[in-house]
Amino acid sequence: MFDETTQYGLAAGDRAMRPALARGFRRCCPNCGAGPLLRGYLTLREQCNVCGEDLTHARADDAPAYLTILLVGHLMVPFMHWVFVAFRPEPLVLATIFCTVCVGLSLYLLPRIKGMVVGFQWAKRMHGF
């Protein structure tokens, strides 16, 4: 059967997932990778300043928050268990350090995961992209 594909092995009209996710993680436009994706900390731009891609169709909603909580929890809980077993710090010290690290890691990851969700939607042509 004849399959018309592009140089990346994608069918005509498909978009590459990996570059879109990488651009989203860098908080750049999923189409060109040059323009900024976010106007503020979590506010999406209406369109890319460089290529003009319409970004109003992106609907990330609560997915970035859920994924951030899932990722931070799975990273920090085993590490907290290891620190507690290996070093036996005071509970208040352990709670203070790990709460600070969890909040910092969450604030770092949240806009990047939102960019990845928008990149995923763009690559899959979801919500009108």
> Over the stretch 120-129, which tens digit does the pLDDT of each residue have?
999 999 987 7
Q: Compute the distance between CA of residue 24 and CA of residue 118 in angstroms, rounded to an integer.
A: 7
The 10s digit of each residue's pLDDT in 15-38 is 999 999 999 999 999 999 999 999
- pLDDT > 70: percent of the chain: 89
Query: Could you give the CA distance from residue 63 to residue 3 in angstroms, rounded to a whole number?
Result: 35
Please give the torsion angle defined by the CA atoms of residues 65, 53, 35 and 38, in that order, rounded to the nearest 10 degrees. -30
CA distance 96 to 8: 48
State pTM to two decimals.
0.86
Question: Per residue, what are the HEC states of the chain?
Answer: CCCCECCCCCECCCCCHHHHHHHHHCCECCCCCCCECECCCCCECCECCCCCCECCCCCCCCHHHHHHHHHHHHHHHHHHHHHHHHHCCCHHHHHHHHHHHHHHHHHHHHHHHHHHHHHHHHHCCHHHC
Q: Domain extents for the chain?
A: 26-128
Measured distance CA(3)–CA(125) in Å, rounded = 21
Q: Between these two residues, 8 and 127, which has the higher pLDDT value?
A: 127
Query: CA–CA separation, 24 vs 122, rounded Å?
Result: 10
